[in-house]
């Protein structure tokens, strides 16, 4: 969480999203509190959970169905 190119608020939001996804209650509590100190509002928290949940669900479906990578996203 040291200073870098991402600001502290963005880092806390990312920590919250991952914490929600892996269901780590300790991190959910601690990083949600920190994110609120950095300006996260209740509506942002709800939207963050919705997006993290959608990414988790759709990612598992794509993996389960073994969807081929689109050509436009492949790297050399």
pTM of the entire predicted model:
0.81
pLDDT in tens, 58-69: 999 999 999 999
Which pLDDT band holds residue 24 (cuts at 50, 70, 90)?
very high
d(CA 22, CA 4): 25
| Cα 36 from Cα 38, distance rounded (Å) | 5
Question: What would the two tokens of residue 8 be?
Answer: 């502290």
The structural domains of the chain, with segments of one domain joined by +, span: 8-60
CA distances from 75 to 18, 50, 59, 66 (A): 25, 29, 19, 18
Share of the chain above pLDDT 70, in %: 100
pLDDT tens digits for range 34-45: 999 999 999 999
Encoded tokens for 31: 């990083």
Q: Which residue has the tokens 């880092």?
A: 11
């Amino acid at each position: 969480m040291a200073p870098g190119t991402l600001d502290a608020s963005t880092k806390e939001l990312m920590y919250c999203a991952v914490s929600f996804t892996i269901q780590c209650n300790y991190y959910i509590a601690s990083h949600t509190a920190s994110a609120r100190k950095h300006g996260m509002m209740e509506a942002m928290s709800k939207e963050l959970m919705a997006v993290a949940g959608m990414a988790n669900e759709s990612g598992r479906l794509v993996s389960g169905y073994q969807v081929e990578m689109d050509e436009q996203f492949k790297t050399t």
